[in-house]
Amino acid sequence: MHPMVNPHDWYKDAVFYEVPIRSFCDGNGDGFGDFDGLISKLDYIADLGVTAVWVLPFYPSPLRDDGYDIADYHSVDSRYGDMKDFRRFVTEAHRRNLKVVTELVINHTSVDNAWFQRARMAPKGSSERDFYVWSDTAERFPEARIIFTFTEDSNWAWDEAAGAFYWHRFFSHQPDLNYDNPAVHAAVFEILDYWLSMGVDGLRLDAVPYLYVREGTNGENLPETHAFLKKLRAHVDEHFPGTMLLAEANQWPEDAVVYFGEGDESHMNYHFPLMPRLFMAAALGDRNPIQEILARTPAIPDSAQWGIFVRNHDELTLEMVTDEERAFMLKTYARDPRAPMNVGIRRRLAPLMDNDPRKIRLMLSLLFSLPGSPFLYYGDEIGMGDDLDLPDRDGVRTPMQWDASENAGFSTGPSSALYAPPISDSTYGYSSVNVAAQEADPGSLLNWVREIIAVRSRHDVFGRGIVEWLDAADSAVLAFRLSHGETSILVAINLADRAAECNLPAGFDAFTGAPVAGPTVLEGYEFRWVTAR
Ligand code: GLC
């Protein structure tokens, strides 16, 4: 690392790996992935070359939203282990120089949370009752859209004990907390201190645009929400400097950048509008969707960083596209009638790419090339498939495929105990698609992913560079230069399934070291990273 680099900026050079603990590895044979299993696979994660692990919620939960419905913020769900296991996970991750990112789900709780159970019994107007947002009618805040369109038809649900409706932006079993109540702020800060004092390095702020509600608004991105985030950031900077806050703000670029504030809100935010456009560009064989959205993205503060991703544990969301673009995406990528889910597509990367290794690599080359810090979703490094017969988004959260043995090497328990069956179809099934087989094959996707991450990690310009767009004559070629200090790298990616010419500057191929100069033909879906000579 350069001596002048600020160690608090670690997220700028990070490569994140997203892990739902339940799906990764079962250490005790009960059919659920757990901390023990995850710890046993930390070497695998470190060997990928990633530098941070983002674990999905592991708190006690009825798991009606896979743990994003939290019943108790201060503990570990017994299916995943206990607090000792969590601490061991943090220590073992740190021992391998892996940062740990956990979830701060503070927009809503489970109905099973003691706060909610107390609220529904508490007298009207009391602070306990006002932990949540209540109403006598289901007509308030009509401007707020419904997010889970496949399951919900209102953002209000009736509670018999309270004799009132409560507000919820997601499932009706997930009441939203009331940020107008200062006691809620205090409770949230307490949770944050609790986990950060155990050495957590970063927090993903789940569903953060919706914290406040106000009459006459759509309840997204309100000034009050940003004011709260500034308060949260100031608290973190004061007590846990170097902790990274990652907003999950699925918004248009001009609204998304506001989550960076003036460098005084979140450090990172996912680039949600970019994500579907990577798929559009690949389908069209044309760079315009990518270049247009990035051109429309305002500059961000020095300390801020975009999170780049292609797939995650949710549906491939199509909220940040036009109606026409959404229709195109659904027609292209959701041909199976079971694939659409809410405003999106519940599929993994490999099936979206028709399992074409060249197209999978194209998408991953975009993930690892575009300015920002990449997030890799578990299983995408081996081209795992999905199971459209499972409900909701469970089909993209199936057991990690470690080897060809029973239960995909995920669990030693009886198959009937598994939280979900491993993928076993003839194309994506674990007998052929698994880590062990790909480790043994030098040409495998897994080994390619390891290589691209390793090469990327030698060039801090990917995480820190200023981008300059180069207009290649052929619009199939996405070309840009990233520069940081004395160093620069030229990226050229052919988005089309045909040869395309581009003019490369004199330099060296970052993978082979071979000299490069002048007009070059990129084969279909081929990409180049060229370091300056
Ligand atoms: C976030 C999570 C998603 C969850 C939702 C509601 O968007 O990514 O998985 O369902 O919050 O809790």
- CATH number of the domain that residue 479 is part of: 2.60.40.1180
Total number of residues shown for the chain: 533
**Residue 206 falls in the annotated catalytic set:** yes
List the 134-135 sheet strands across, edge first. 134-135, 164-167, 156-159
Residue 333 beta carbon below 6 angstroms from any ligand 1 atom: no
Task: Assess whether 432 and 521 both reside in one domain.
Answer: no
For 89, the token pair is 């996970």
Distance 318 CA to ligand 1 centre (A): 15
Residue 314 beta carbon below 6 angstroms from any ligand 1 atom: yes
The confidence score (pLDDT) of residue 220 equals: 98
Task: Assess whether 427 and 472 both reside in one domain.
Answer: no
Task: Assess whether 287 and 260 both reside in one domain.
Answer: yes
Task: Assess whether 148 and 265 both reside in one domain.
Answer: no
Residue 138 lies in a domain: yes
Mutate to test the pocket of ligand 1, among 170, 211, 275, 343 (most ligand atoms within 8 A of CB): 170
Q: Based on the number of CB atoms within 10 Å of its own CB, is 264 exposed (0-12), middle (13-18) or buried (19 or more)?
A: middle
Residue 221 lies in a domain: yes
Q: Which of 425, 455, 485 finishes a domain?
A: 455
The confidence score (pLDDT) of residue 242 equals: 96
pTM over 0.85: yes
Task: Assess whether 278 and 315 both reside in one domain.
Answer: yes
The confidence score (pLDDT) of residue 100 equals: 98
Residue 174 lies in a domain: no
Residue 131 lies in a domain: yes
Distance from C-alpha of 520 to C-alpha of 506, rounded to nearest angstrom:
11
The confidence score (pLDDT) of residue 6 equals: 79
Positive or negative, the CA dihedral 291, 292, 294, 299 is: positive
Ligand 1 atom nearest to 313, measured from its CA: 9
Task: Assess whether 204 and 283 both reside in one domain.
Answer: yes
Task: Assess whether 402 and 520 both reside in one domain.
Answer: no
Please identify every stretch of the chain with a pLDDT value under 70, giving residue numbers as ranges. Answer: 1-5, 533
Residue 207 beta carbon below 6 angstroms from any ligand 1 atom: yes
Distance 147 CA to ligand 1 centre (A): 10
Task: Assess whether 436 and 480 both reside in one domain.
Answer: no
Task: Assess whether 196 and 285 both reside in one domain.
Answer: yes
Distance 202 CA to ligand 1 centre (A): 18
Residue 344 lies in a domain: yes
The protein residue with its alpha carbon nearest to ligand 1, atom 4, reads 68
Task: Assess whether 20 and 146 both reside in one domain.
Answer: no
The confidence score (pLDDT) of residue 532 equals: 85
Residue 206 lies in a domain: yes
Residue 65 beta carbon below 6 angstroms from any ligand 1 atom: yes
Tell me the residue range of the domain where 484 lies.
Answer: 465-532
Residue 103 beta carbon below 6 angstroms from any ligand 1 atom: no
Positive or negative, the CA dihedral 147, 257, 320, 344 is: negative
**Active site residue: 66, 206, 315, 474, which one?**
206
Residue 345 lies in a domain: yes
Residue 1 lies in a domain: no
The confidence score (pLDDT) of residue 1 equals: 45
Distance from C-alpha of 467 to C-alpha of 252, rounded to nearest angstrom:
20
**Residue 248 falls in the annotated catalytic set:** yes
Q: Which of 455, 473, 505 finishes a domain?
A: 455
- Listed in sequence order, the DSSP H helices in 240-341 are 253-256, 274-284, 288-295, 323-333
Tally of domains within the chain: 3
**Active site residue: 13, 18, 77, 248, which one?**
248
Residue 268 beta carbon below 6 angstroms from any ligand 1 atom: no
Task: Assess whether 191 and 297 both reside in one domain.
Answer: yes
The confidence score (pLDDT) of residue 519 equals: 92
